[in-house]
Amino acid sequence: MLKFTRTMTVATAGAATTVAVLGITAGTAFAKSDSLLSGPRVTHAGHPFRLIVAVGDDGGARPASARLQIRDAHGNFHWYGTWHRLHRTDYSDESFASTLTERHRGPEVFRAVITGYAPTNVVTVVVR
57-81: per-residue pLDDT in tens? 888 888 899 999 999 999 999 999 9
Residues 18 and 75 in one domain: no
Rounded to 10 degrees, the C-alpha dihedral 61/65/70/76 comes to -90
Mean pLDDT, residues 42-69 taken together: 93
Residues 4 and 49 in one domain: no
Residues 12 and 70 in one domain: no
Evaluate if residue 4 carries a pLDDT over 90.
Answer: no
Side chain identity, residue 83: W
Residues 2 and 15 in one domain: yes
Residues 15 and 62 in one domain: no
Q: Domain range spanning residue 14?
A: 1-30
Bridge partners (DSSP) listed for residue 95: 54, 87
Residues 61 and 13 in one domain: no
Residues 85 and 23 in one domain: no
Residues 121 and 89 in one domain: yes
Residues 79 and 108 in one domain: yes
Number of domains the chain contains: 2
Evaluate if residue 116 carries a pLDDT over 50.
Answer: yes
User: What is the three-class DSSP state of 83?
Assistant: strand
Mean pLDDT, residues 37-52 taken together: 96
CA 25 to chain centre: 25
pLDDT of residue 31: 63
Residues 86 and 99 in one domain: yes
Region of residue 90 (phi > 0: left; psi between -120 and 50: alpha; otherwise: beta): beta
Sheet holding 33-38, edge to edge: 33-38, 48-57, 93-101, 87-88
CB 91 within 8 A of CB 55: no
pLDDT of residue 26: 45
Return the minimum-mean-pLDDT range out of 25-29, 65-69, 105-109. 25-29
Identify the band that residue 119 occupies on the pLDDT scale cut at 50, 70 and 90: very high
Evaluate if residue 17 carries a pLDDT over 80.
Answer: no
Residues 113 and 79 in one domain: yes
Identify the band that residue 115 occupies on the pLDDT scale cut at 50, 70 and 90: very high
pLDDT of residue 88: 92
Residues 50 and 101 in one domain: yes
Its pTM stands at 0.73
